[in-house]
């Protein structure tokens, strides 16, 4: 798996976010992902990629996108999503670690996030 900095063309990764939300976040959206998907457009992701201080990291292997994570300049974890077909392949552990590494390198003393019901137990176990 390779983690790299996002480029403007990676805004197409919003499809991964949408599929992940629809397939893996049912406890959070109660079977109706439409409200969560309102801000999941390529333009939204392009804006996150282009915002000064933001870090957006795609994870990929063999030319396939496995996940994407993002933090703000203030150290807030904005998102970490994994493609449904890439679950249980280490993406969920690798992306947050890479985001933390980048935040530390940028001088952030800590990162914060507001976890969903789906992700809360995972993040608590990861520290």
For the cut 80, the answer to whether the pLDDT of residue 115 exceeds it is: no
**Distance in angstroms between the alpha carbons of the first and the last residue of the chain:** 22
Residue 86 · residue 67 · CB < 8 Å:
yes
What would the CATH number be for the domain defined by 2-126? 3.40.630.30
Q: What is residue 85's three-state secondary structure? A: helix
Domain extent listing, the chain:
2-126
Give this prediction's pTM.
Answer: 0.85
Span 5-44, pLDDT tens digits: 999 888 878 888 888 877 777 666 666 666 666 566 788 8
């Amino acid at each position: 798996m390779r983690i790299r900095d996002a480029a403007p063309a990676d805004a197409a990764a919003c499809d991964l976010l949408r599929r992940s939300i629809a397939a893996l976040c049912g406890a959070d959206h109660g079977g109706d992902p439409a409200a969560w998907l309102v801000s999941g457009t390529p333009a939204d992701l392009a804006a996150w990629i282009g915002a000064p201080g933001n870090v957006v990291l795609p994870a990929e292997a063999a030319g396939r996108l496995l996940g994407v994570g993002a933090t703000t300049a203030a150290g807030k974890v904005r998102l970490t999503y994994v493609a449904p077909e890439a679950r249980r392949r280490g993406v969920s552990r690798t992306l947050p670690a890479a985001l933390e590494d980048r935040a530390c390198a940028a001088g952030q003393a800590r990162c914060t996030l507001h976890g969903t019901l789906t992700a809360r137990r995972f993040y608590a176990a990861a520290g």
